[in-house]
C-alpha cells in the first residue's frame, strides 16, 4: 500500500484514540470512533466487504453488553442495588476492615453478574456515599475507592461475558463461553485473590479499624443515586416478590449463556430476551414504562465498538499488522508459555497507551494471522484478555471502566490525580499480571 495511505491511516488512528481519551467538549466516545471509520472507508482503506464482516463480529458482543446494562437499569429502579449497599454495611458490623472486604465482594459480584462498566457506574457512587457518611479522613477513603475500581474491572476476567473486550474475538479464535471459562476461570480467580491481598497489604494502615453503624443512613431516602438511577426507592419499600423474581431471572439468563449456545441460541438473543423480560415484569408489577430504559441505555456502544474495529482493521489493511507479526512470530511459536507471556504483556502495554478495546482488537488480528495452532491461538487470546482486564489497570486510560471511575469521582468532588492512581497501580498491577499469567500456565499444564 502507498506510503501516504499508511501515514493517513496512522494519523486517523492516533487522532481517533486521542479524541476518545480526551473527549473535547465532553463529546461521546462513539463520535470520534465512527468519524474515523467513515474517513477510512471514504479513502478506500477499509472497503465495504470488510465493513460488513466487521459489523457481524461487533454487533453480537455490543448487543449483549447493552442488554446487560438495560438489566442493570431495571434492577436499580426497583431498589436492588440499594439493598446490596445496605447489606454491605450490615456485614461490616462496625469494622473498617470487614467493610473493605465486603466492598470488594460487592464489586466482584456486580461485574460477574453484569459487566465491568455497569459495575463501576453502580458501585462507585455507593462507595462514595458510604465513605462520606462514616466521616473518615480523605486518605482513609482511598482503600475503598481503589478496591472498588480494581476489583470491578478485573472481575470481568473469569467469565467472558462481563466485558465487551473479552467477547469481541471469541469466535475468531474458536472459543465459546464454556471453553473460555474452562481456561480462564481458575487463573483469573487466583489473579483477583492476589490483587485483593496486595490492595489490603498496601492500604492496611489507612483502613480505619472502627466505623460507625451507618445502615440507617444507607436506607435513608436521601441516598445519592448513581448515574443509572431512575426511581428513588428505600429499602423499606422494596417489592420483595418482584425482587426475588428479577434476581432469579438474572441468574437464569447468566447461566443460559453457558448452556443454550450449544443448542444454537446466540448469546445476544439470550441477553435481549432477559432484558425484555425484566422490563416487562417491572412494567406489569410497578406500572413503570420502558421510557427510562430507552433514554438511559448506552446504545452508542455498538457505534463505538464498530468504529474502533474499523479503525484498527485499517492498520491490518495497510500492512502494519504484518510488520508486527514478523516481530512476534518467533516468540509466539516457541511454546505455550512464551506465547502467553508475549500476548499478555503486549496487550498490557498497548492498552495503557491507547485503551484496551482497540488493543484487543489489534492483538486478535495479529494472533489469528501468525498461523498458530488452535491450542496456542486460544491460550494467546486468554493471555491477551488477562492483559486487557488486569494489565490495562496500570494507568486510568487503560480501560473505559477506569476512565468512567475517574469521571464519577470528579463529578462527586473527589480528586484523585493520574499520578496518585499510577503510584497505587504500580504497586499491585504488575505483580498481579505476572501471577495470573503464571497461574494460567500452571493450570494449562494440569488440564491439557
pTM: 0.85
Say what the pLDDT of residue 223 is. Answer: 46
Cell 489473579 sits on residue: 191
Residues in the chain: 448
Say what the pLDDT of residue 222 is. Answer: 44
CA distance 195 to 154: 9
- 444: how many CB neighbours lie within 10 A of its CB? 17
CA distance 136 to 141: 7
- 24: how many CB neighbours lie within 10 A of its CB? 8
Say what the pLDDT of residue 230 is. Answer: 42
pLDDT, one tens digit for every residue, the chain (448 residues): 567 888 899 899 889 888 877 778 778 888 999 999 999 999 999 999 999 999 998 999 989 989 988 998 898 888 888 788 777 877 888 899 999 999 999 999 999 988 888 888 888 888 988 887 777 888 899 999 999 999 999 999 999 888 888 898 888 899 999 999 999 999 999 999 999 999 999 999 999 988 876 554 444 444 444 444 444 444 446 788 999 999 999 999 999 999 999 898 999 999 999 999 999 999 999 999 898 888 888 888 889 889 989 999 998 898 877 777 777 878 888 899 999 999 999 999 999 988 888 899 999 988 988 888 999 999 999 999 999 999 999 998 888 889 889 888 887 888 888 899 999 999 999 999 999 999 999 999 999 8
Cα-Cα-Cα-Cα torsion 26, 32, 35, 41, nearest 10 degrees, comes to -170
**Nearest-10 crossing angle of helices 3-22, 300-317:** 150
- Nearest Cα neighbor of 40 from 298, 434, 316 is 316
CA distance 396 to 393: 7
The pLDDT tens digits of the residues spanning 145-167 come to: 999 999 999 999 999 888 888 89
Say what the pLDDT of residue 213 is. Answer: 67
* Cβ contact 343:384 at 8 Å: yes
Amino acid at each position: 500500500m502507498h506510503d501516504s495511505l499508511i501515514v493517513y491511516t496512522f494519523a486517523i488512528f492516533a487522532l481517533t484514540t486521542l479524541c476518545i481519551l480526551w473527549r473535547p467538549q465532553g463529546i461521546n466516545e462513539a463520535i470520534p470512533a465512527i468519524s474515523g471509520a467513515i474517513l477510512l472507508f471514504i479513502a478506500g482503506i477499509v472497503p465495504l466487504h470488510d465493513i460488513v464482516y466487521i459489523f457481524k463480529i461487533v454487533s453480537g458482543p455490543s448487543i449483549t453488553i447493552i442488554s446487560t446494562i438495560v438489566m442493570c437499569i431495571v434492577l436499580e429502579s426497583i431498589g436492588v442495588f440499594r439493598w446490596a449497599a445496605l447489606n454491605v454495611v450490615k456485614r461490616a458490623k462496625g469494622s473498617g476492615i470487614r467493610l473493605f472486604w465486603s466492598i470488594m465482594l460487592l464489586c466482584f459480584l456486580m461485574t460477574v453478574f453484569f459487566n465491568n462498566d455497569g459495575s463501576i457506574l453502580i458501585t462507585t457512587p455507593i462507595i462514595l456515599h458510604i465513605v462520606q457518611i462514616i466521616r473518615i479522613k480523605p486518605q482513609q477513603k482511598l482503600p475503598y475507592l481503589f478496591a472498588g475500581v480494581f476489583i470491578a474491572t478485573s472481575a470481568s476476567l473469569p467469565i467472558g461475558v462481563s466485558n465487551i473486550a473479552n467477547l469481541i474475538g471469541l469466535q475468531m479464535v474458536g472459543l465459546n463461553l464454556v471453553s473460555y471459562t474452562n481456561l480462564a476461570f481458575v487463573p483469573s480467580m487466583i489473579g483477583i485473590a492476589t490483587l485483593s491481598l496486595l490492595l489490603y497489604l498496601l492500604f492496611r494502615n489507612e483502613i480505619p479499624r472502627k466505623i460507625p453503624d451507618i445502615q440507617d443512613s444507607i436506607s435513608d431516602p436521601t441516598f445519592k443515586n448513581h448515574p443509572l438511577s431512575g426511581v428513588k426507592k428505600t429499602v423499606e419499600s422494596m417489592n420483595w416478590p418482584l425482587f426475588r423474581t428479577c434476581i432469579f431471572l438474572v441468574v437464569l439468563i447468566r447461566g443460559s449463556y453457558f448452556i443454550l449456545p450449544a443448542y444454537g441460541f446466540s448469546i445476544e438473543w439470550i441477553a435481549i430476551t432477559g432484558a425484555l423480560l425484566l422490563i416487562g415484569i417491572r412494567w406489569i408489577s410497578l406500572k413503570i414504562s420502558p421510557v427510562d430504559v430507552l433514554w438511559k441505555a448506552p446504545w452508542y456502544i455498538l457505534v463505538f465498538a464498530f468504529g474502533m474495529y474499523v479503525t484498527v482493521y485499517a492498520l491490518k489493511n495497510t500492512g502494519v499488522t504484518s510488520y508486527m507479526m514478523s516481530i512476534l512470530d518467533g516468540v509466539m511459536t516457541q511454546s505455550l508459555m512464551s506465547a502467553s507471556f508475549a500476548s499478555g504483556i503486549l496487550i498490557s502495554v498497548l492498552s495503557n497507551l491507547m485503551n484496551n478495546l482497540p488493543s484487543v482488537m489489534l492483538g486478535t488480528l495479529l494472533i489469528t494471522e501468525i498461523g498458530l495452532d488452535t491450542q496456542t491461538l486460544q491460550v494467546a487470546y486468554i493471555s491477551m484478555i488477562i492483559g486487557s482486564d488486569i494489565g490495562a489497570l496500570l494507568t486510568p486510560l487503560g480501560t473505559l471502566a477506569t476512565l468512567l471511575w475517574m469521571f464519577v469521582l470528579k463529578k462527586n468532588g473527589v480528586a484523585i490525580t493520574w499520578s496518585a492512581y499510577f503510584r497505587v497501580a504500580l504497586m499491585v498491577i504488575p505483580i498481579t499480571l505476572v501471577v495470573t499469567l503464571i497461574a494460567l500456565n500452571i493450570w494449562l499444564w494440569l488440564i491439557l
